[in-house]
């Protein structure tokens, strides 16, 4: 695991070195209106998201590895360039069809765009990974490689916000097997384990959902609302909020998804600590079905090096699930999948973690997530993983 961490750190370091060089081209980073800190940068920054249940091996919580949601990763870019270059044209057209585009334009002063490239993988329990036949009483293998665009808009006083996202991707590619086999191989080499020892080299990916590849997609809408208690409100009677230092805030969301994951979801999130960031850009699960834009952490003026944050957060996420292609399959025949009567249509997920932001430029989130089982099983159990999410923002915004 140390080898994997060192390799990832090296690649991330190289990437962000390039990013900072790019950011020094000031024209790419300036605001449309230099006196308006709520407007979007032409290039706002980049985020790297990584979920992996193998991280639990570094903690006392070592059970349930390689079960259900095995892991995922994504690279996200933010900025006005996404809209200017029509990269999100399909997202815009769907928003026009649903008439949500009117909300985005009405709130254009606080509209932000994101572009994401990602992969999520699902497997049965680790004890079955060396089996070549379909596992009938556990999670089927599945992976989704995707590209998504999202548009996030907040109202003038930023007490509510809406996000629309369009995800396009492929089910059943070889990326899931390649990623999992590589992680397990690095682990065995690090600990001098034999090639046939656990964690096994996965042998059952030929039985995955839509093996060989099949197009898929999803459109989602999320409404987010600040809980307006007097001591956490950011409202300003004379105009938009000034984002003073806060020690606590809370908000709720309602989301609807249509596509390979068709569901409705609500969340309740609370943050406590040294908080300066805009509440409506925070998302404790950015590799989930929706992915809100991660933009500047602070709108206060003054010296950036004072704009650090450190806070704890928690999210409770109940959901009602109508259809899940990663469990039930899609149009292409699959060796094994569940039928609608075998999946759990109601479930819940929780996230707890901490966030550290330094000098406006960098944010690091470490998140522990636990999810209820999504399918019927003779011995149902929750599964969990750890996520590490890193964001670097373009520093030149004046």
3-state SS assignment for residue 110: helix
pLDDT at 300: 43
Between 221 and 197, residue with greater pLDDT: 221
Domain assignment of residue 33, given as a range: 2-393
Of the candidate ranges 88-92, 154-158, 181-185, the one whose mean pLDDT is the lowest: 154-158
Top pLDDT among 129 and 70 is at: 129
- Is residue 18 predicted with pLDDT exceeding 60? no
Residue 18 token pair: 């390039």
The predicted pLDDT at position 397 comes to 43
- Asked if residue 176 has pLDDT above 60, the reply is yes
The C-alpha atoms of residue 132 and residue 130 are separated, in whole angstroms, by 7
Residue 240 has a pLDDT of: 52
The residues near 85 (Cβ < 8 Å, ≥ 6 apart) are none
> CB within 8 A of 150, min separation 6: which ones?
91, 113, 114, 116, 163, 164, 165, 166, 290, 291, 292, 293
Cβ-based neighbours of 178, under 8 Å, separated by 6 or more: none
Q: Is residue 385 part of a domain?
A: yes
CATH number at residue 203: 2.40.128.140
Any domain includes 344: yes
State the pLDDT confidence band at 112, using cuts at 50, 70 and 90.
confident
In a domain, 398, yes or no: no
Judge contact between 98 and 221, C-beta under 8 A: yes
Widest distance between CA atoms in the chain: 68
The whole-number pLDDT of residue 156 equals 73
Do 373 and 395 meet the contact criterion of CB atoms below 8 Å apart? no
- Quick check: is 366 in a domain? yes
The DSSP 8-state label assigned to residue 136 in this structure reads T
pLDDT above 90 (res 351): yes
Q: What is the structure's pLDDT at 228? A: 80
In a domain, 50, yes or no: yes
Write the burial class of residue 366 (CB in 10 Å: 0-12 exposed, 13-18 middle, 19+ buried): middle
In a domain, residue 198? The reply is yes
Tokens of 377: 């099983």
Name the strand (E) or helix (H) holding 181: helix 175-190
Task: Give the tens place of pLDDT for each residue, 96-105.
Answer: 999 998 888 7
Q: Which pair of tokens denotes residue 322?
A: 């109508």
The answer to whether residues 350 and 375 touch, using CB atoms and an 8 Å cutoff, is no
- Neighbouring CB atoms inside 10 A of 58's CB total 12
Question: Given this model, what pLDDT does residue 376 score?
Answer: 84
Residues 6+ apart with CB under 8 A from 293: 78, 112, 113, 114, 150, 151, 152, 163, 281
The mean per-residue pLDDT over the stretch 209-231 comes to: 89
Helix (H, G, I), strand (E, B) or coil at 195: coil
* Count of domains for the chain: 1
CA dihedral 49, 74, 66, 123 (to 10 degrees): 160
Cα separation of 177 and 301, whole Å? 47
pLDDT digits (tens, 9 = 90+) for 190-215: 888 888 888 888 899 999 999 999 99
- Cβ–Cβ under 8 Å, residues 337 and 140: yes
Is the pLDDT at 380 greater than 60? The verdict is: yes
Residue that wins the pLDDT comparison between 290 and 270: 270
Residue 36 CB neighbours (<10 A) = 11
Tell how many helices (H) and how many strands (E) occur in the chain: 6, 12
The residues pairing with 161 across neighbouring beta strands, listed in sequence order, are: 154, 224
Please confirm whether the linkage preceding 225 is cis (ω < 30° from 0): no
Residue 72 lies in a domain: yes
Residues in CB range of 86: below 8 A, 6 or more apart:
92
Residue 347 is predicted with a pLDDT of 93
SS3 182: helix
Q: What is the pLDDT of residue 28?
A: 43
Question: 31 vs 77, 228, 239, 397, CA distance in Å?
Answer: 16, 30, 20, 6
Lowest mean pLDDT among 68-77, 119-128, 282-291: 282-291
Average pLDDT over residues 238-243: 53
State how far the Cα of 353 lies from the Cα of 21, in Å rounded to an integer: 31
Q: Which of 386, 389, 388, 387 is nearest to 60 (CA)?
A: 386
Q: Which two tokens stand for residue 155?
A: 């109202």
Domain assignment of residue 136, yes or no: yes
Q: How do residues 25-37 score in pLDDT, each as one tens digit?
A: 443 444 334 434 4
């Amino acid at each position: 695991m140390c080898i994997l961490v060192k390799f990832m750190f090296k690649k991330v370091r190289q990437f962000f070195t390039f990013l900072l060089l790019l950011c020094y081209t000031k024209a790419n980073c300036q605001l449309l209106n230099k006196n308006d800190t709520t407007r979007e940068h032409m290039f706002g920054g980049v985020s790297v998201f990584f979920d992996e249940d193998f991280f639990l091996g570094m903690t006392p919580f070592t059970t349930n590895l390689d079960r259900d949601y095995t892991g995922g990763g994504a690279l996200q870019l933010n900025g006005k360039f996404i809209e200017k270059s029509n990269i999100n044209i399909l997202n815009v057209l769907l928003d026009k069809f649903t008439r949500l585009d009117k909300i985005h334009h009405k709130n254009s002063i606080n509209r932000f765009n994101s572009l994401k490239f990602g992969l999520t993988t699902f497997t049965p329990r680790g004890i079955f990974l060396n089996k070549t036949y379909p596992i009938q009483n556990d999670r089927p293998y599945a992976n989704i490689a995707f590209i998504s665009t999202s548009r996030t808009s907040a109202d003038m006083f930023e007490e509510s916000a809406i996000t629309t996202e369009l995800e396009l991707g492929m089910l059943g590619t070889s990326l899931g097997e390649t990623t999992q086999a590589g992680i397990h191989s690095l682990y065995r080499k690090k600990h001098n384990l034999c090639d046939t020892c656990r964690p096994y080299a996965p042998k059952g990916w030929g039985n995955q959902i839509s093996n060989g590849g099949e197009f898929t997609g999803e459109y989602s809408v999320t409404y987010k609302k600040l809980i307006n208690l007097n001591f956490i409100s950011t409202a300003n009677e004379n105009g938009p909020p000034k984002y003073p230092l806060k020690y606590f805030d809370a908000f709720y969301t309602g989301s609807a998804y249509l596509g390979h994951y068709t569901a409705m979801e609500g969340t309740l999130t609370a943050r406590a600590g040294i908080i300066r960031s805009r509440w409506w850009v925070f998302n404790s699960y950015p590799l989930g079905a929706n992915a809100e834009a991660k933009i500047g952490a602070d709108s206060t003026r003054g010296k950036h090096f004072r704009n650090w944050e450190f806070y704890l957060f928690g999210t409770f996420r109940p959901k009602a699930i109508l259809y899940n292609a990663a469990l039930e399959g899609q149009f292409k025949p699959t060796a094994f999948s569940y039928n609608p009567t075998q999946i759990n249509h109601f479930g819940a997920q929780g996230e707890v973690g901490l966030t550290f932001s330094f000098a406006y430029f960098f944010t690091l989130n470490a998140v522990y997530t636990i999810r209820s089982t999504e399918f019927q099983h003779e011995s149902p159990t929750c599964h969990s993983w750890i996520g590490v999410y890193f964001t670097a923002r373009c520093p030149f915004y004046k």
